Every structure is written in structure tokens, then in C-alpha cells.
Amino acid sequence: MVKFDVWRAVLVGIFLVACMALAGTASATESRPQNDGSILPIPLTTNVDPDRAALGEKLFNDPRLSRGDVFACATCHQLDQGGDDGLARAVTNKGHADIFNTPTVFNSVYNFRQNWAGPFRTLEEQAIGAFTNPRHGNTTPAAAVRKLQRIPEYQIAFKAVYPTDGLTVDNLLNALAVYQKSLITPNAPFDQFPRGDSAAISADEKMGFELFRDHGCISCHLGRNVGGGMFQKVGVHLQYFTDRKTTQADLGRYTATGKEEDKHVFRVPSLRNVEVTAPYFHDGSISTLESAVTTMGKIQLGIDLSSDDVALIVKFLKTLTGEFRGRSLAAGK
Amino acid sequence: MTSKMTRAMVVGGLFVALMGIVVMLVFGKTGEEDIHQAINLHVEKITRLDARLNNSVLLLRAGISQNIDPINDDLQGILIAIKAASKTTIKLKQMGHHVHSFMMAMSELETAFHAREDGILRFVSEHAKLRNSVSYFKGVGQDLVAANSGLPVNPKTAVNALVLAMLDYVQTTGTHARQDFEGRLAALNDPRMPAEFAAPMHSLEVHGRKILEFLPKINHWMTGILNSPFTQAAHLVPRELLAHRRAHAGKHNFHRSLWIGVAFVLSLLLAWILLRLYRSRDALNVQVREAAGELEDEVLRRVQTEADYQSIFENAVEGIVLTTPEGKFARANPACAKMLGYDTPEELMSSITDIAAEIWVDRNERNAMLDDLRRDSEAHVEVRMYRKDGGFIWVSMSVSAKYDDDGGLEFVEAILLDITERRASEVNLKAAKEEAGSADMAKSSFLSSMSHELRTPLNAIIGFSQLLTSSKKLGLADKQKRMVDQILSSGQHLLALIDQVLDFSKIDAGQIDVNIVDVSADRICHDCVETASMLARAAEFDLVYAADGRDLPMVRADPTRLRQIILNLLSNAIKYNRPKGHAVLDCTEQSNGYARFEVTDTGEGIAKSLHEKVFVPFERLNQQTGPIEGSEIGLALSKRIADIMNAKMGFVSATGTGSTFWVDVPISSGIADRPKDETGTIISEIAPTDA
């Protein structure tokens, strides 16, 4: 059985390599496809357990999960603010500015890693990180569970949702993760377009997408989350961190792996709902979408985008703003 | 159930259990096969996803798929499967299997996975950059070729060939293709190329260099991915699993046989021991059971008693407390704590270290109580105790002693009742009584001095009025004479009234003096009739002295006061009589050592409902509006005087037939016996008071 799988894989590989030449030459001359499958729509529904999600929502909004009852998940991840806090950098439990910009919680389930440096594989791991971060939860999941055990309401709720073992660390993390899995924003105009609604995006927006694709933005910003699927160095063509004082946050993935090649490497952020998650970049140093697009073109693609192109690309990016609970995220801003 | 039946059942049950064990050992599954199955499933999933991973990487590299989500999903899926397989392996370990080599294989697999994942992620990252540059390069090249008809043929061909060389290199990655592409890239600086195309040309060169930079890296990662040690390690895992199963099965079979033998021997031994035990047990059984039954009953009873006591203790309204003679609390119930102002017994017991000093207001009282206890084993005291807030309460305490084995006082058990309110009301009552008494005294002394002050001017009025009537020199007219008579009679009436009030108040104030002597009853009667006859005549009234001529005894009384009483009765009999009626004074010797002076009238009589008020001061019965003048205190005063003289007063009356008032006066010594019960027609009598 096992051997067969491997051989099949190798055979497919050989076949594909053989096909490559044909495909490559063909694509050099054919007309450009609208969306070559790089960007996939967000599903309209999730199949998460609604009871667990409801419990997770309560926990997500409860500051008692943190030491001193000061900090809830929702303190930084505000659903009416695009899933983040609208600030350049997150606020610590002491009220100071943290080192990273808050990533949005929306669609975070589709990120292959969580956070800018990508230290967390899963939402559960991310939650542990938030609990134990001295600047955020400043506690541990176990301590939070002990605290919640003194609240009869949670005792009852956990027993109802997790009948076998009730309130445990695993179930606490699970409830939070399940809730976040429910925080998806389907039905963005760009997602409606391939479903057959040709009026969902305008000619300008379409042109913006083509620029986005042809200039190569799409090489990294792709997949369900239009990003969030790979690590990439900031400064492919031009060094970005030379003309400024480098901070801890600027080291990126290096802070998680300690490998030299991971310096200034970040998880490519999702561009979904980018319209409502200003300011931009890992440290929130860029305040407008236009500026972000221009900077990205310069340092990542090695091109100086014209202001017209930038405007069109921004128009396209705004078609990535989805709906949460039937309401466009842009409506709240 | 007889003991034989029980024995048979136990031995039978044991046999069945034994057979069960044997069957289980020979044929039973212990669940480890399920675990192996589960691990197998995880490993199969790992190899399946891993193979798909290679496919996805190849598709991406070939440009057939642009989607990296499947790659990320499969990497995540493999890691989850590895973790699940490791977790399941630990179960095997917990069952006592030697899974070391298998665990090592799993651990190697996980390490290899992280290396593979790292390679794939770096490949993805490099590939994105390559894709970007290739796409840009292609775009610029095609734009140059297609959009610029002004481009000379040779450069146009050069650009076209360059793009094709790039694609060839990217797709084949061969050394020749690279050299070809590099050469063409270097030859871009064709002098025939128009200057306005310098910028796109520069872009082509930049991206071309990037492609040359990225592609070897991609090839490096690709090779790593396709020859991943992980893939090999993943193949090793099932082999290890199989080896483990074989090894364990062999060992397991040996163990199984061993265990069957041991279990069989042990079971036989156990059965034999049990049979022996049953035999010896039977003899003792009944005895033990009885003893056990008794013990159980006793325990139950005690538990119940203790529970009852505890309930009483906890819920009693009275405070119940157990203390040591040294002054420490041993137990206290909630009521006790509450009484002393503490929230809980625990608070009370923990805050008090010396009862004598901190609870008892007077520690000497406690010492006295302890002395009593040592003597009598019970005591009852009313003492003051401090509350938590510093105030004190009165407590009625029933104390009993608990002795230790040597007969010494071990504990003091006390039942406490808060009597603070009762004490307070007692004190208030006493004070109120004293206050009322002194008020009464004040009233009486006021009246007595007042009467005296009134009498002086009144005497002057009467004296001058008499002078006026008797003086012929003044020659008063008839009309004037009548007016002066009126003044005189009114004055005399007022004087009589004041005298009575004075007497009354003197009695109340305890200031009256009676001078009791032996006096002739006949004499008294004659004096009275003589005095009253004037009144009777004025009223055209018959006054009869019925005892006239009879032999009357001597009585012990104050003659003045007795006359006063009888005259009062006579004057009432005259005043409250009907016109043309009569009054009778009689005196008889009673059998109980008293002489009875009796005045009978023919008046309206007194309604029964008013009998109680006859001797009450200032009550004129039904006569308030009548025409007869008189004070309201005559009878009441008479009654008081009679009391002082050890005489008794009473009356018989009925409406329409008239009244009979009497006064019984003790007969002089020698003649009188002790008083006997009253009989006959007497319906109302007020006995002399002790005071």
C-alpha cells in the first residue's frame, strides 16, 4: 500500500515535469486568465459547533481570563474595528504600545501560521501565547481555568458543552479556537464575482486585480486569505530596514527560530478586509493603503508603481472586504 | 439461608470466575490490537499526505497550480497525525509494552517532518519570488516585442529569444539552458537598441539576475523535498510497528501461558483456603453476628443520640456552652454566640481566652459558682456578662458540672437565657411603684394641709354668721335673717365636708390616731340617736332605737370614731329616705364576738349593679342630681375608720325595700371567740385590710 503511494507520486511527478514545457510555452502566448486560481473564495458557512462557539465568544470577551482582569481577547481584536484595534501597535496590559501591530482575528483560521513572526501553528497555540505573554494575558491557561472554576456560570456552561470533562485547559483553548473559526468574512465582492455575479466588481476594480496579478503581488498574496500562507522576507529587491533603526519586531521570524536566514522574514499578511485594518505593516508604520501598495511594489517587486496603478490596485483591494453576520465590515467603519 | 448453601454458592462462584479468567487469557483480546490498528491508520495517513505533498510541490513548480493552501493543509494534517500516533503509542507503553524502538522511530519521524516542512516553506517562499520575477520578465519581454514596431528586427528577435531561453531555463533548470540564458541576458546591451527602451531593458536584466539567483535555490529545496528523509522515516514506522507486534506477540504468548498456570494454581489454593475458612467460621459465626448486631445497634443509637444532641445544640434558642474550669470555651452553640454578640460560635471561641475576665462582669461570681458546682454539681445563677460590643447582658444560667475520671471538675456545662429585658422591666416596675407611692403621699399631705388652711377662715364665717342670727341688737329683717341662716348652714356643711376630707387624707397618709378603749354599746347608741333625732325632726322623720332597754355589751373601739360612723349611717338613712319613712338603729350581739350596730332605712335601696361602688370615695351612687346634700366620701371614710378599729362594715340592700348598713365592732375581751365564716343574707362584705 505504502510503496504504491510513493511510486504513484513519483510517476505523477515525472508526468508533470514532462508537461511543464508545454504548459510554460503555452502560457507565454495565450491571453491572461481573469483569476488563475491563485485567490480562492471564503466559504459562505462554517461547520463549527455553535454551542462551543457561543461559549468561546463569551470567553473571548471576558477580561477575567487575564491576570488582574484587565485584558480580554476582544480588547485588541474588536469585531467592529475590522477584527483588530485600529492602532499602529497593540496596547499592552500596562497601557503601553507593544512591538507589533495587531493582526485581525477575522479569517485567522485560514492563516497557515498565526501572528507576524508566525510562531503559532494553530489558534490554540496562539491562545496559549496570548495567555502567557507578560504584556498581554500575563497568566497561564491553567491559572485561567482555576479562576474560571470559581465562577459557577462557566462551570455550568463548560459542563453543558463538554459533558465528559467540563472545564479543562484543553476545552478552554478549544472553545476559544472554535469561536475564532466562526469569525470568517465571506461574500466579499471579489468572491461574488467568480460565483457568477459579474456586476460585483467594476471595470476599474477588475483592472486593479490585473495589475495586482501582473505586477506579481499575487505571487505571495494568494490562496483563501490572499496571503497568510507563506513566510517571505521584507525587502526582496530593496532593503527595507537599512534606513531606519531596527527594532525587535523588525527581526520578524528570527525572533521565533533564531536562524540568520529568518531575519526580516514575516508571515505574508492576509489582504482580506485590508480596507478596514489600517494602519499597515508589522509595526503599523504605514497609515494608508496607497502608501502600503507603493512601498510593497518598491521593496518586494522592484518597481515604481504609478499613482494611477496604485489607485487601481487599492480599488481592487477594497473588493476583498467581506461580510460578517451578513453585514459588510466596511459598513461599520 | 443456611451456611451450607452460602458455601456452595461461593465455591461455585469462584469456579466460574476462575474459568472466566482462563477463557479470557486463552481467547481474550486486551485491546492492544485496536491500538495497533489506530497507529496503523495514523501512519497510513502520514504517508498518504506526504505523497500528496510532493505532488503539490511539483504542481506548483510546474506552474500548473498556483495554490499553496493544499500544501499548508497537508503539512498541518501530517503533524496532527504524527502527534496522534505518538499519543496512541504512549497507551501501548502504559500497557507495559516495550515500545522503545517504535517510539524512537516516531521521534525521528517528527524531527524529519520539521526539516521537511522547513524545506517546503522555504521552497514556497523562493518559488513566489521566482514566479514574480518570471511573470514580470515575461510581461516586459512580450510588451517589448509586441508593442514596439519601431524595435529593430535584431533586438526584437534577441528579446524574444531571451524570454524563451528564460522559460527553458526555468522549466528544465539544465546547465546548458542556464548558460544560454545567462549569455543572452549579457548580450542585451545591443548597440542597435533604441535609448528609450533602456528602462525596460534594465528591468529585464534585474529580474533575469533574480531568476538566476532564485532558481538554484529552488532546485536545492526541490531536491531536498523529493528526497526527504521524512519520506523514508515514514516508511520505517510501519516496519517498526510490525516488528514490535511480532516481538510482543511471542513474548505475549509465553506470558500468557505462564499466567494461566499461575492463575490456575492460585485459584486452587484460594478455593482450598476458603473452604477451610468457612468451616472454622461457621462456629464463630452466630456469636460474632450477635455481638456485631449489638455493637451496630449501640453505634446507631449513639450516632442518633449524638445527632439529636447536635441538632438541639445547634438550633436551641437558649445558649448552650461547655467551658473548662480554667475559663476556656470547649463548645458553644450559635444561640450562645448570638447572645454575646458574636456572629458564629467559632468567632466567640477564638476571641475569648479567659471567660472569667472577658465574659463575666464580676469574676468573683464565677468563682462562687464554681465553688457551688464542686459542692452540688448544679447551680443556678443570674449574672451579668459582657457582650462583644462592650455592653453587658443579664443572663440566667443553669450550670451543671461534668467530672473527669478522678472526680475532678472537668467541664462546666451551662444553659444560658438572656434575661436582660426581664431585669429591666423588674427595675422599672419597682421604680414605678415607688414613684406612685410617693405621689399618693404627696396628695394626702397636700389635702391634709389644705383642709387645715380652709378650716380657719371657714370657722370665722360660721362664727360670725351665728353671731348675726343670735344678736337681737342688730335687728335683722326676716329676709336678711334667712340669708344669714343660709350662709351658716352652708358653712357648716362645708366644714363637715372638710373635716371628712381631712380625716380621709389623714388615714391615707397614715396620720390618723385612734384611741381604742372599752366602751358601752348602749351609750354609743344613745348618743347617736340623741344627736340624729334633731336631724330627723327637721325632716319630719321617725327615728327608732330598737335596742332601747336591752342589755348591750362593752365593745373595743374609739368612741368618737364609732359615733362618727353610726351618725354617718343614720344621717344617710335620713337623707336618702322617702318622705314619711323611718329609720331604725339596732344593736345585737353576734355569735362571732362582734357587736353589730345596724341602721335600716325605708328608702329606695341601692341597685345591685352599684353595690361595688358603695364604699368608694366620692361616689354618690345614683344621687348625683338629687336634692339631698351630702359629701361623697362619708361611707368610704367610715369604712376606712372601721378598718383601723378592726371593725367590719357591710350592707344589705335591694331596690324598693330599703337598705341595712351595719358595722361589727369587736366585743371586749373574754367574751369574743375567733371570727367565724359569714353566713346568712350578707351579700357584700369588705374585710379589714392587713395594712
Q: Are residues B391 and B350 in the same domain?
A: yes
Q: Are residues B457 and B473 in the same domain?
A: yes
Q: Identify whether A18 is part of a domain.
A: no
Q: Are residues A202 and A315 in the same domain?
A: yes
Asked if the model's pLDDT at residue B477 lies above 70, the reply is yes
Best mutation target among A6, A109, A114 (most B Cβ atoms within 10 Å) is A6
- The residue among A117, A151, A181 that closes a domain is A181
- The residue among B394, B418, B442 that closes a domain is B418
Determine how β-strand B517-520 pairs with β-strand B554-557. Answer: antiparallel
Q: Identify whether B345 is part of a domain.
A: yes
Asked if the model's pLDDT at residue A124 lies above 50, the reply is yes
Q: Are residues B531 and B389 in the same domain?
A: no
Contact A37 B67 (CB under 8 A): yes
Say what the pLDDT of residue A141 is.
93
Average pLDDT of the segment spanning B560-587 = 84
Contact residues for B330 (Cβ-Cβ < 8 A; gap 6+): B322, B323, B324, B411
User: What secondary structure does DSSP assign to A208-242, as a single string?
Assistant: HHHHHHHTTGGGTS-BTTTS-S-EEES-SSS-SSS
| Structural domain boundaries enclosing A285 | 32-43+186-332
Q: Alpha-carbon distance B588 to A225, whole Å? A: 136
Where helices occur in B227-344 by DSSP H, the ranges are 229-315, 334-339
Contact B135 A237 (CB under 8 A): no
Q: Identify whether B38 is part of a domain.
A: no
Q: What are phi and psi of B620, to 5 degrees?
A: -110, 25
Q: Identify whether B235 is part of a domain.
A: no
What value does the CA radius of gyration of chain B take, rounded to a whole number of Å? 66
Within an 8 Å CB–CB cutoff, is residue B41 touching chain A? no
Asked if the model's pLDDT at residue B23 lies above 80, the reply is no
Region of residue B428 (phi > 0: left; psi between -120 and 50: alpha; otherwise: beta)? alpha
Contact B125 A233 (CB under 8 A): yes
Best mutation target among B40, B43, B68, B232 (most A Cβ atoms within 10 Å) is B68
Say what the pLDDT of residue A7 is.
54
Contacts of B115 in chain A (CB under 8 A): none
Give the DSSP H/E element, type plus range, for residue B434. Answer: helix B420-470
Q: Alpha-carbon distance A128 to A143, whole Å? A: 12
Best mutation target among B46, B54, B67 (most A Cβ atoms within 10 Å) is B67
The minimal CB distance from A20 to the residues B54, B132, B171 is found for B171
Say what the pLDDT of residue B675 is.
38
- The residue among B366, B397, B418 that closes a domain is B418
Contacts of B58 in chain A (CB under 8 A): 12-13, 16-17
Taking only residues 92 to 131 of chain B, the set having a beta carbon closer than 8 angstroms to any beta carbon of chain A reads: 121, 124-125, 128-129, 131
- How many structural domains are present in chain B? 4
Higher pLDDT, B425 or A179: A179
Q: How many residues does chain B have?
A: 691
pLDDT tens digits, B492-546: 878 877 777 777 777 766 667 778 888 888 888 888 888 888 777 777 778 888 8
Tell me how close the Cα of B170 comes to any Cα of chain A, in angstroms: 9
Asked if the model's pLDDT at residue B686 lies above 50, the reply is no
Degrees to nearest 5, angle at CA B300 with B295 and B303: 125
Return the minimum-mean-pLDDT range out of A134-148, A178-192, B533-547, B561-575: B533-547
Determine how β-strand B582-589 pairs with β-strand B542-545. Answer: parallel
- The residue among A159, A181, A203 that closes a domain is A181
Q: Identify whether B285 is part of a domain.
A: no
Q: Are residues A322 and A205 in the same domain?
A: yes
Say what the pLDDT of residue B582 is.
82
Q: Are residues A130 and A258 in the same domain?
A: no
Asked if the model's pLDDT at residue B45 lies above 80, the reply is yes
Instruction: Categorize the per-residue pLDDT at A109 as very low, low, confident or very high, splitting at 50, 70 and 90.
Output: very high
* Cell representation of residue A279: 494602519
Q: Identify whether A325 is part of a domain.
A: yes
The minimal CB distance from B67 to the residues A214, A223, A302 is found for A223
Within an 8 Å CB–CB cutoff, is residue B515 touching chain A? no
Q: What count of Cα atoms within 13 Å lies in the side-chain half-sphere of residue B44?
A: 8
Within an 8 Å CB–CB cutoff, is residue B164 touching chain A? yes
Contact A28 B139 (CB under 8 A): no
Q: Are residues A278 and A323 in the same domain?
A: yes
Q: Identify whether A4 is part of a domain.
A: no
Q: What are phi and psi of A280, to 5 degrees?
A: -115, 170
- How many structural domains are present in chain A? 2
Q: Are residues A109 and A122 in the same domain?
A: yes
Contacts of B206 in chain A (CB under 8 A): 237, 302
Contact B171 A40 (CB under 8 A): no
Contact B63 A27 (CB under 8 A): yes
Q: Alpha-carbon distance B677 to B595, whole Å? A: 15
Instruction: Categorize the per-residue pLDDT at B3 as very low, low, confident or very high, splitting at 50, 70 and 90.
Output: low
The minimal CB distance from A229 to the residues B51, B68, B136 is found for B68
Asked if the model's pLDDT at residue B468 lies above 60, the reply is yes
Within an 8 Å CB–CB cutoff, is residue B402 touching chain A? no
Contacts of B67 in chain A (CB under 8 A): 37-38, 40, 222-223
Asked if the model's pLDDT at residue A52 lies above 90, the reply is yes
Tell me how close the Cα of B97 comes to any Cα of chain A, in angstroms: 26
- 3-class secondary-structure state, position B395: strand
Return the minimum-mean-pLDDT range out of A44-58, B243-257, B270-284: B243-257
Within an 8 Å CB–CB cutoff, is residue B167 touching chain A? yes
Contact A24 B79 (CB under 8 A): no
The minimal CB distance from A24 to the residues B47, B167, B210 is found for B167
Tell me how close the Cα of B38 comes to any Cα of chain A, in angstroms: 16
Q: Are residues B409 and B431 in the same domain?
A: no
Q: Are residues A129 and A214 in the same domain?
A: no
Within an 8 Å CB–CB cutoff, is residue B160 touching chain A? no
Contacts of A216 in chain B (CB under 8 A): 131-133, 135-136
Name the residue in chain A with its Cα closest to that of B130.
A219
CATH assignment at residue A73: 1.10.760.10
Q: Are residues B434 and B368 in the same domain?
A: no
| 8 A C-beta contact, residue B585 and residue B525 | yes
Q: Identify whether A27 is part of a domain.
A: no
Q: Are residues B522 and B599 in the same domain?
A: yes
The residue written with cell numbers 460565483 in the block is A195
Q: Are residues A73 and A167 in the same domain?
A: yes
The minimal CB distance from B131 to the residues A19, A122, A219 is found for A219
Say what the pLDDT of residue B155 is.
75
Q: Are residues B479 and B570 in the same domain?
A: no
Q: Identify whether A261 is part of a domain.
A: yes
Q: What is the mean pLDDT of chain A?
A: 86
Q: Are residues B354 and B431 in the same domain?
A: no
Name the residue in chain B with its Cα closest to that of A21.
B171
Average pLDDT of the segment spanning A239-250 = 78
Q: Alpha-carbon distance A172 to A162, whole Å? A: 10
pLDDT tens digits, A59-94: 999 999 999 898 899 999 999 889 999 899 998 988
Contact A232 B125 (CB under 8 A): yes
Q: Are residues A140 and A230 in the same domain?
A: no
Contact B135 A219 (CB under 8 A): yes
pLDDT tens digits, B404-430: 777 777 888 888 888 888 888 888 888
Contact B47 A2 (CB under 8 A): yes
Within an 8 Å CB–CB cutoff, is residue B68 touching chain A? yes
Contact A121 B79 (CB under 8 A): yes
Contacts of A231 in chain B (CB under 8 A): 121, 125
Closest CA to B80 of B40, B34, B42, B51: B42
Q: Are residues A196 and A174 in the same domain?
A: no
CATH assignment at residue B361: 3.30.450.20
- The residue among B370, B398, B418 that closes a domain is B418
Torsion from C-alpha of A222, A225, A229, A233, nearest 10 degrees: 70
The minimal CB distance from A28 to the residues B55, B75, B167 is found for B167
Q: What is the mean pLDDT of chain B?
A: 80
pLDDT tens digits, B120-152: 999 999 999 998 888 888 888 888 877 666 677
Average pLDDT of the segment spanning B296-323 = 79
Tell me how close the Cα of A303 comes to any Cα of chain B, in angstroms: 8
Amino acid (1-letter code) at residue A118: G
| 8 A C-beta contact, residue B688 and residue B615 | no
Contacts of B234 in chain A (CB under 8 A): 2
| Structural domain boundaries enclosing B396 | 313-418
Name the residue in chain B with its Cα closest to that of A17.
B62
Best mutation target among A14, A30, A230, A305 (most B Cβ atoms within 10 Å) is A230
Q: What Cα–Cα distance (Å) separates residue B617 from each residue in A261, B275, B455, B605, B620?
A: 125, 107, 21, 19, 9
Tell me how close the Cα of B82 comes to any Cα of chain A, in angstroms: 15
Q: Are residues B678 and B599 in the same domain?
A: yes
- The residue among A135, A155, A181 that closes a domain is A181
Contact B235 A2 (CB under 8 A): yes
Say what the pLDDT of residue B485 is.
82
Q: What are phi and psi of B632, to 5 degrees?
A: -95, 5
Asked if the model's pLDDT at residue B350 lies above 90, the reply is no
Q: Identify whether A23 is part of a domain.
A: no
Asked if the model's pLDDT at residue A16 lies above 50, the reply is no
Within an 8 Å CB–CB cutoff, is residue B203 touching chain A? yes
Average pLDDT of the segment spanning B644-668 = 86
CATH assignment at residue B518: 3.30.565.10
Q: Identify whether B381 is part of a domain.
A: yes
Say what the pLDDT of residue A234 is.
92
Q: Are residues A131 and A235 in the same domain?
A: no
Q: Are residues A118 and A36 in the same domain?
A: no
Q: Are residues A328 and A269 in the same domain?
A: yes
pLDDT tens digits, A264-301: 999 999 999 999 998 999 999 999 999 999 999 999 98
Q: Identify whether A82 is part of a domain.
A: yes
Tell me how close the Cα of B228 comes to any Cα of chain A, in angstroms: 12
Q: Are residues B612 and B525 in the same domain?
A: yes
Q: Identify whether A38 is part of a domain.
A: yes
